[in-house]
Structure 1
Amino acid sequence: MRPGTEAPRPGGENPVPGSVAAAYDRAVTLTNEPRSGEPWLVRTDRLELRAVCADDLAELFRINTDPRTWSHVPEGRHRDEETTRAWIGRAVKSWESSGLGYWTARLPADGAVVGVGGVAFQPASGFWNLYYRLDPAHWGRGYATELSRAAADAARRHSPEVPVAAWIHTHNAGSRGVVARLGLADRGLRRDPTLGELLHLYTDRQVPPAVS
């Protein structure tokens, strides 16, 4: 699943929707220390989800530099820690500007990092964009669905008027299956306004063709 663009600060060139913008005043600037309390900390049946922070660099680089995690978009693989550090910086800004973003997912028992995922607001479409990337050691156990479901639920609680969406390559059958299990419907091939690519757009409700 392709990552979205983090939301700009309210009042910027592409302001976020009203309820998202209002959340900016409640958002906490993230430092190297993990935050506590929803939505920065969420527990599902099997996972502990904490807002991405700088302390996650080593584990997130390990996952993002593994070619298996980028088989559908090989050019996106992280080849140095600076790329991952910049990605973390953008993820943190998403939390700061819109009150939601990506989590690092861990197993509560031992703290092992399963992967990363969540939602980020995509100004060009007006959607919450679902995203995840998991450590191959934890594939095939339903964690992608569990993480994505928590993200979609958080987005709906935060801004129920904003569609939850996922932009997915045709050949990425795994991710298409995940979002279908969440109840997102395939709206066909649309041009991702951020990446400029024709991808399958999945959304949790009907959206006007002009929006995408």
Structure 2
Amino acid sequence: MRARILFWLLLPVLIAGCGGERQSVANGDPAPAFELERLDGGQATLSEQQGQVVALRFWADWCPFCRREMRELEPVYQQLRAEGLEILAVNVGQERARAERFADRVGYSYPTLLDPDSAVARRYGVIAIPVTYFIDRDGIVRGRILGESDASTFERMARPLLDPGADQRPGSAGTGQPAKGRAGIEPLQPLAAGAGLTATDP
């Protein structure tokens, strides 16, 4: 077996702590509330997602992993949205025009939210992207994916929250095993900011 360290991309504005103190989130904590502008108009709040399973994704257009990941997640979103999954793609620290150009190029249907001053990213303890937080139907943080995800990894995290019986099935996200390859899964441990990612390959 050999260990491979996976690097996610640091956000300078968050490392510098500009605009507010960075916080942290632990599994079992209520997800920090927010209100953000939607790219397609209007406002979005976490509270309006009560009763849904929310995958809260933080991204930026300079992230080389984000484009492929966001395309890969679209079929999963289409498959699971009827079961109560919502993906909220939060653009971090960029102006609307850049987020809009990226969304138009990539082509996905789940909502894009704008966090131009990185306030919500700091509230969730984000210091690098991409990162995805999973929030259950009661608004409780239940896990995160560090680094680039793929469709199977993402679905493995979402399924047990959509169907609570799924976490007893072999290979479910409830096992707490790290992802193979591109992403690290942390469904059970405290979500301490700044940890490195390690995946194990055969």
Measured against the shorter chain, the TM-score band is under 0.3
- Greater RCO structure (CA 8 Å; 6+ sep): 2
Structure richer in helix, relative to its length: 1
TM norm structure 2: 0.28
Q: TM-score, normalised by structure 1?
A: 0.27
